[in-house]
Amino acid sequence: MNQQIQVHPWHSNPDWWRGAAIYQIYPRSFQDTNGDGVGDLPGITTRLPYIADLGVDAIWISPFFTSPMKDFGYDVSDFRNVDPIFGTLADFDQLVEKAHQLGLKVLIDQVLSHTSDQHPWFKESRSSREGEKADWYIWADPRPDGTPPNNWQSVFGGSAWAWDSRRRQYYLHNFLTSQPDLNFHHQPAQDQLLEESRFWLERGVDGFRFDACNFYFHDLRLRNNPPAKLKDSQLSTVRPGNPYGFQIHKHDKSQPETLPFLKRLRVLLDEYGAVGVGEVGDEDSLPTMAEYTADGDKLHMAYGFKLFTTEFSAGRIREVVGEFEKHIKPGNGWGCWSLSNHDCVRVVTRWGKGTNGTDDPAFAKILMAMLSALRGSFCIYQGEELGLPEAEVPFDRLVDPYGISFWPDYLGRDGCRTPIPWTAGAPHGGFSEVEPWLPLPSEHLPKSVETQSLSPGSVLHFNQNFLAWRRTQIPLCRGSIRFLAAEEPVLAIERKADGQRLIAVFNLGPDPAQFTLPARINALTGHGLEEARVEGRQLYLPPWGGFFGQGE
């Protein structure tokens, strides 16, 4: 370990995470420095000044641990090491040191709910029903006819149970068959996972994004899940046609035993002044997010998928955020909102298709402004600051097992994971000197970092200026929230903190819109959105326009 690294040498504000802007890095596609076509940790380190200039508070790095890469790092075979394709532990230490020098916090993914089937723990567990690690994973006998123990489904389609001929039992896998689930009901497994997290805290990380944290515990009685009603299936967070959406997931996740374990996690995090963000993947995720962040003794923030759907309207955003606010206790609970990540279609394509906003820079700008005006912290997925659309990856270049299984009805997650275009004129957009692991689409090159850096009106320039401006607005960072009545496509928000009242109004449509302000409001400048016109209390918003104002 680099002995110069200090744990939180500049950690002066323990509540820095409230209202923080967090930049998500998908390491495989960020920057390749060793010429193998795959991004790496030294590549992230070289680009940290760019991220710091963007004006975010922290980075979240998707998994870089040793892995057979069946699910591209979300199948860990060694929690305490860096996979050689990404570099070494020394490279990670240098990354943390550089990030801290630039004032960036470092959060890393912790995939605790499952491991790779290549992990030594699982190899030992499957070898015998009597060994030390026999109960570290979820094993169950077949039913009398040899079929799986119950009807639970995998997120990636098909039964969540896989037969193992060595133990002559089924093991549970909520994702790929090569991702067996750990048994959190077994105390030694819990204890060891806490120690795996401590290892990275000792190396100086500022916190974790806990992947699939509501999958930690299962129903010990292995009861069948009830079938979903048609409307539940249609609203499922998984793709249409996946049988996972045909059930109400009452027994295979989001169990009450999760809460005591989250309290154990919080004790560990508090020991290091670190922060925990929990990913909650559930149809009824909002009350679970509120529960997991309640009372200041579990997670600091919770991250959900409710804004990852194709439905886009001011009403939808009010509904999602408003429901979360209803479930939290007064002054308690904290969300972490996002419009894109490595698992879903990029937002300017997902929401822009029906509104002709995909290629309109103003659309990308208004989405970022709107996201940052919600109560909570928020994540920016790499490339979102450039307004990148979803890439079209041909079938012969697909590598995502989820996409390959469901193609052509579902194209998978590769389209949002293509490399970042750094320089339009360089080979492969400046990402790598060789052909990347996923093709970099030609339509992304005009949106490269270099190109946008030279254009004052670009999406990148807007985001740099806007995020710097937002830091000066206390109500936007940590104030209360109230939605004001407004007709589609207008979203109007009131934020209050420390006696300051801020009004934010967004036109989420491609045509001009009007809104009547609740009082005479003084317009705020410097945010970089196209200026709205105010006449008394009447506000005239341009297409994809926004307004920030301050009042008593």
* Angle formed by the axes of helices 258-271 and 187-202, nearest 10°: 30
Percent of the chain with pLDDT over 70: 95
Residue 504's pLDDT is 98
Residue 6's pLDDT is 35
Average of per-residue pLDDT across 81-99: 98
In sequence order, the 6+-apart residues with CB closer than 8 A to the CB of 81 are: 65, 66, 89
Statement: residue 5 has pLDDT above 90:
no
- Amino acid occupying residue 180: P
Statement: residue 345 has pLDDT above 60:
yes
Average of per-residue pLDDT across 74-80: 98
State pLDDT tens for residues 254-300. Answer: 999 999 999 999 999 999 999 999 999 988 899 999 999 999 999 99
In 3D, which of 515, 518, 516, 517 has the Cα closest to residue 545? 515
Statement: residue 227 has pLDDT above 70:
yes
Statement: residue 231 has pLDDT above 70:
no
Tell me the C-alpha distance between 106 and 27, whole Å. Answer: 14
Residue 235's pLDDT is 44
Q: Is 191 a catalytic residue?
A: no
Joined together, the tokens standing for residue 456 give: 């004052």
Joined together, the tokens standing for residue 61 give: 């790095």
Statement: residue 237 has pLDDT above 90:
no
Can you point out the beta strands (E) in 96-142? 105-110, 139-140
Average pLDDT taken over every residue of the chain:
94
H-run or E-run covering 302: strand 301-303
State pLDDT tens for residues 104-127. Answer: 999 999 999 999 999 999 999 999
State pLDDT tens for residues 511-534. Answer: 999 999 999 899 999 999 988 999
Three-class SS state of 221: coil
In sequence order, the 6+-apart residues with CB closer than 8 A to the CB of 251 are: 150, 152, 218, 219, 221, 222, 223, 224, 225
- Domains for the chain: give ranges and CATH numbers: 21-115+185-469 (3.20.20.80), 479-551 (2.60.40.1180)
Dihedral angle of Cα 14, 17, 21, 26, to the nearest 10 degrees: 100
Strand pairing category for 522-523 and 58-61: unpaired
Statement: residue 422 has pLDDT above 70:
yes
Percent of the chain with pLDDT over 90: 88
Residue 12's pLDDT is 64
In 3D, which of 97, 250, 235, 121 has the Cα closest to residue 183? 121
Residue 230's pLDDT is 63
With cut-offs at 50, 70 and 90, classify the pLDDT of residue 428: very high
Residue 329's pLDDT is 79
Average of per-residue pLDDT across 116-144: 98
Active-site position among 211, 252, 279, 384: 211
Tell me the C-alpha distance between 442 and 421, whole Å. Answer: 9
Average of per-residue pLDDT across 368-380: 98
Q: Is 211 a catalytic residue?
A: yes
Residue 404's pLDDT is 77
Average of per-residue pLDDT across 159-174: 97
Note whether 73 and 65 are within 8 A (CB): yes
Can you point out the beta strands (E) in 111-227? 139-140, 161-164, 169-172, 207-210
Tell me the C-alpha distance between 24 and 18, whole Å. Answer: 17
Backbone angles phi, psi at 291, to 5 degrees: -65, -40
Joined together, the tokens standing for residue 154 give: 């995998």
* Position with higher pLDDT, 466 vs 235: 466
Active-site position among 132, 141, 202, 271: 271
State pLDDT tens for residues 390-420. Answer: 999 999 999 988 887 878 877 789 999 999 9
Statement: residue 432 has pLDDT above 90:
yes
State pLDDT tens for residues 498-512. Answer: 999 999 999 999 999
Statement: residue 142 has pLDDT above 90:
yes
In sequence order, the 6+-apart residues with CB closer than 8 A to the CB of 105 are: 16, 17, 20, 57, 58, 59, 99, 206, 207, 275
Joined together, the tokens standing for residue 337 give: 């909102």
Average of per-residue pLDDT across 162-177: 97
Residue 238's pLDDT is 67
Q: How far is CA 529 from CA 5, 477, 478, 525, 543, in A?
A: 40, 18, 22, 9, 11
What proportions of the chain, in percent to the nearest 5, are helix, strand and coil?
A: 30, 20, 50
Tell me the C-alpha distance between 536 and 533, whole Å. Answer: 10
- Amino acid occupying residue 51: I
Note whether 230 and 208 are within 8 A (CB): no
Statement: residue 133 has pLDDT above 90:
yes
State pLDDT tens for residues 302-340. Answer: 998 999 999 999 999 999 999 999 999 776 899 999 999
State pLDDT tens for residues 60-71. Answer: 999 999 999 999
State pLDDT tens for residues 451-472. Answer: 999 999 999 999 999 999 999 9
Average of per-residue pLDDT across 55-60: 98
